[in-house]
Amino acid sequence: MVVAACYGVDRRLCDEIARPAVERGWRLAITLTPTAERWLTASGEFERLTQLTDLPVRSRSRLPGEPRPHPDPRTFLFAPASAGSTAKLALGIADNQALTVLCEALGDPSVHVSVCPQLSDAQAGHPAWPGHLATLRSAGALVTPVSPDRAWTHVLDALPVAGTDRP
């Protein structure tokens, strides 16, 4: 699971995505953007998130001599996905750990990638936005928008069944 800094993430991530995912049988390997980590740490949600997984919650790259902290997931959920990080993913700009793992996942056709953007009308009105979505979809990603007005848990319905490759 990869998480960006979108409105509400500092209050809603555990209850609306992470805990329901664990209840559905997912083992969570969580990577945050640097901004999302700052927000979640300030709200206390980071600490709650760490209780939901046996793997470290990360946002930084490892040192070359350090072991890889996460296994290679077969399923990626990028939720909530900010407009900026979604654009960078479409362009292949891997300038932080969250985008590094997402860009590699998108480049592997055997990996399921769900991208769940939450953005304002003005952000969606950027002339490059439709092209970014088209790029992600052409790479096989499933795009499921989320909003501040609806619980985010529905994003889990678009994933394969936990522990399998089945939809």
Contact residues: ligand FMN, CB under 6 A = 4-7, 33, 35-36, 82-85, 118-119, 123
Please identify, using beta-carbon distances, which residue of 119 and 159 lies nearer to ligand FMN.
Answer: 119
- Of the two residues 36 and 141, which places its CB atom closer to ligand FMN in the complex? 36
Decide: helix, strand or coil at residue 105: helix
**Of residues 27 and 135, the one with the C-beta less far from ligand FMN:** 135
Closest approach of ligand FMN to the CB of residue 123, in Å: 6
The pair of structure tokens assigned to 46 is 């980071």
Residue 33 C-beta: closest distance to ligand FMN, Å: 3
Give min distance, CB of 99 to ligand FMN, in A: 8
